Amino acid sequence: MSPPYVMKRTDIKKLVEAASNEYDVFGPVKKRSKHVFGKIDNPDNLVMDYDSTILSPRKYFQPQNEVMMSFDLEENKVEDTLDELRAMRPRLLMAVHSCDLNGILHLDRVFGGEYTDKYYFARREKTTIVGINCLDSCEYGFCRSMNTHHVVEGYDLFLTPISGDRYYVQVGTAKGEHLVHMARDIFQEAGPEDFGAFKAALKHKNESLPHEVDVEGINEYLDLSFHHEFWDKMAEDCVNCGACAMVCPTCYCYDVVDDLDLSLTSADRTRKWDACLFQEFALVAGGHNFRESPAARFKYRFYHKMRGFAHDQGILGCTGCGRCTAACPSDISIKDVLKELSGIWEVAPTAQGGK
Amino acid sequence: MGNNGKPTVGIFGFTGCAGCQLNILNLEDHLLDIISLVDITSWVMAKAENDDGPWDVAFVEGSIAKSTDIERLKKIREKSGVLVAIGACATHGGLPALRNLADTDEWKKEVYGDDYERIDAIDIKPVSHYVKVDYSLPGCPMDKAEFVEAVKALLIGKTPYIPQYSVCGECKAKENVCLLKEGKFCMGPVVQAGCDALCPTYGAACEGCRGPAPEANWAAEVEILKKIGATSEDVKRKFLKYCPSVADMEEFKELEF
Ligand code: SF4
Ligand code: SF4
Ligand code: SF4
Ligand code: SF4
Ligand code: SF4
């Protein structure tokens, strides 16, 4: 592993400029009063210090609408889009927060494994990621509670803001090292003083990031609460719009449709983001709906994030990024849901929590 | 089927601005393809010669505002295999139906003077109030892309698809800044998606032109709008503006504003 570096924060522009020769660069940019990940054509538009973005970086690995193949019945032809995808220009994704780096690792688990999703990994492999450390908390996030405020992998470079308007730069992969070498003169190898500055930054982070929600034993709380009236009460405000799932870095559900053209013989097979909040999500042939009521769908989202995902993947399916709270038109806060849920069982001992 | 083996189509207008029909004419990229697939045998807006049916598919625009309209609509229904209501006027009464909220005799006198009783004006209703509607393409105007989708679906024997959730889902997929959070009275949470969140994408609050999403949680939307300063009157207006027929829904009657 290559040693850590330091760089001046203002030199980020130089890095982006140098990288533009080889990559399409994306990163946080301003949108009205918020930020979104967008294409960086002018390095001045890149915002390194931002609260959160409306959508997570998921959109770069599993886009909202993705054509997987085209077919033509007349000519008996099928064309996969994978080759095109594999030939795309490499991408550089700048300033990804720890929670989102963990979110991407969540998606890697979902799309990897026995049935590897080649489309997802084609995009993933083409992308170099520069992460950034959050030393202070954001408006809605609760990363520390979900243990996603730090990262051990998932980045190519990882920047921590340190004193002297500099970044402490950790190199995670060969892709990261390659990026360093594209603008080698802006990086200096870190020395003992820089290690001190790095430690001071981490100390600040440790003191400033709150631990707000206790998710210990959450799987048991959920098992015990499946029929609790709490869910119906919480669901009263939910409009089942699915905004929470759209913005979530670890939601991955999609629907596959054939977009037929007017020849009626050729079509694009497209996958589109779907959400378990929608009425048709669990509707099957014959008209049966496994989650008929809006309240059942509201509840399900939490059971998938906090129970089903953990069962399948061994970790909770929430990074605590807070986007679902920010996006909810009814101001339903996932933090409040989790807090109230544990409140219900506070007095009851659980095998794992031992309280 | 017409003489040439193509399905026959009739396009009809009742009370409205004719914008939905115009939207079909505006489908420049697709119109020729569509006419190669179907035989439009009646369309007064676009053709000089029009026959009297029957039609495999009738597209009906506009609300029903005169007693003579009812008979005409029923005839179209009798002669059509499939009837598709297009646009907010046909699906939910639309802007013309705002007139239901005023006293009919009073405004008739005001507008037409002493002779007002001659004017045939009944309470405005959507097409489905009088005849069976097989499919509805909502919106003011009806979405062009959705119309093309419906034509394709009907040609291959599928049910035309309209999203069954609310505009916010689409709005977030487009990564719009939420207008509610900027204090604008947006109807997105309860209005049927399918327009790709057109208005919020351009910074304007959703006015609800596509009508309520299935299972719309009206009570939650009342709270949402009141929380950012809307009065009961504002909320009611918002709910009824494009879709006055909503006032006939049981869920609506039970609402506390
Ligand atoms: S964003 Fe809020 S209102 Fe919409 S589905 Fe999620 S919890 Fe319900
Ligand atoms: S559930 Fe909410 S807080 Fe958790 S990862 Fe998804 S958007 Fe973020
Ligand atoms: S089931 Fe729901 S919560 Fe789980 S990934 Fe899909 S949309 Fe997200
Ligand atoms: S702007 Fe309107 S449609 Fe978009 S998310 Fe906000 S409330 Fe929903
Ligand atoms: S955003 Fe609302 S008002 Fe605008 S087109 Fe869509 S449904 Fe109609």
Judgement on whether residues A50 and A109 belong to the same structural domain of the protein = yes
A69 pLDDT above the threshold of 80: yes
Closest CA to A157 of A142, A176, A141, A180: A176
Domain end point (choices A179, A208, A237) = A208
**Helix, strand and coil percent figures for chain B, each rounded to 5:** 45, 15, 40
Q: Which one-letter DSSP state was computed for residue A154? A: S
A345 pLDDT above the threshold of 90: no
Judgement on whether residues A268 and A299 belong to the same structural domain of the protein = yes
Is residue A98 classed exposed, middle or buried when 0-12, 13-18 and 19+ CB atoms within 10 A define those classes?
buried
Is residue A42 classed exposed, middle or buried when 0-12, 13-18 and 19+ CB atoms within 10 A define those classes?
exposed
For residue A26, what pLDDT band results from cuts at 50, 70 and 90?
A: very high
**Residue A177 belongs to a domain:** yes
Q: β-strand B135-137 against B80-86: which pairing, if any?
A: parallel
> In this structure, which ligand is nearest to the CA of A276?
3
Q: How far apart are CA A110 and CA A128, in angstroms?
A: 20
Q: How far apart are CA B136 and CA A60, in angstroms?
A: 35
Contacts 24+ apart (CB under 8 A), B225-232: B225/B185, B227/A331, B228/B180, B228/B183, B228/B184, B228/B185, B229/B183, B230/B185, B232/B257
Q: Taking a C-beta distance cutoff of 8 angstroms, is the pair A24, A91 a contact?
A: yes
Domain end point (choices A169, A189, A208) = A208
**Chain B hits for A241, Cβ within 8 Å:** 165-169, 172, 188-189
pLDDT of residue B53: 86
Give the DSSP per-residue string, A220-240. Answer: HHHHHHTT-THHHHHHTT---
Can you tell me the ipTM of this complex?
0.94
Q: Taking a C-beta distance cutoff of 8 angstroms, is the pair A55, A247 a contact?
A: yes
For residue B102, what pLDDT band results from cuts at 50, 70 and 90?
A: confident
Judgement on whether residues A85 and A49 belong to the same structural domain of the protein = yes
Q: How far apart are CA B205 and CA B186, in angstroms?
A: 5
Judgement on whether residues A203 and A272 belong to the same structural domain of the protein = no
pLDDT tens per residue, range B109-143: 998 998 888 889 999 999 999 999 999 999 999 99
Residue numbers of the domain that contains A132: 5-208
**Structural domains of chain A, count:** 2
**Residue A30 belongs to a domain:** yes
B77 pLDDT above the threshold of 60: yes
Q: How far apart are CA A248 and CA A318, in angstroms?
A: 8
Judgement on whether residues A183 and A222 belong to the same structural domain of the protein = no
Domains defined for chain B, CATH in brackets:
8-155 (3.40.50.700), 167-253 (no CATH)
Judgement on whether residues A182 and A256 belong to the same structural domain of the protein = no
Taking phi over 0 as left and psi of -120 to 50 as alpha, with beta for the rest, A322 belongs to left
Q: How far apart are CA A254 and CA A74, in angstroms?
A: 28
- Within 8 A by CB and 6+ apart from A2, the residues are A171, A177, A180
Q: Which of A62, A109, A244, A253 to mutate to test the pocket of ligand 3 (most atoms within 8 A of CB)?
A: A253
**Chain B hits for A240, Cβ within 8 Å:** 165-166, 215, 217
Bridge partners for A258 per DSSP: A269
Domain end point (choices A168, A183, A208) = A208
Which residues of B lie inside 8 Å of A (Cβ-Cβ)? 30, 33-34, 37, 148, 151-152, 155-156, 164-169, 171-178, 180, 182, 186, 188-190, 214-217, 219-221, 223-224, 227
**Residue A213 belongs to a domain:** no
pLDDT tens per residue, range A229-269: 999 999 999 999 999 999 999 999 999 999 999 999 999 99
Judgement on whether residues A60 and A200 belong to the same structural domain of the protein = yes
Judgement on whether residues A48 and A139 belong to the same structural domain of the protein = yes
Name the residue at shortest CA distance from atom 7 of ligand 1. Answer: A238
- Cα-to-centroid distance, A103 and ligand 2 (Å): 9
Flag whether the pTM goes above 0.80: yes
Q: How far apart are CA A110 and CA A222, in angstroms?
A: 22
Judgement on whether residues A166 and A227 belong to the same structural domain of the protein = no
Judgement on whether residues A141 and A288 belong to the same structural domain of the protein = no
Judgement on whether residues A104 and A76 belong to the same structural domain of the protein = yes
Q: Taking a C-beta distance cutoff of 8 angstroms, is the pair B13, B44 a contact?
A: yes
A350 pLDDT above the threshold of 70: no
Ligand 3 within 6 A of CB of A334? no
Judgement on whether residues A284 and A346 belong to the same structural domain of the protein = yes
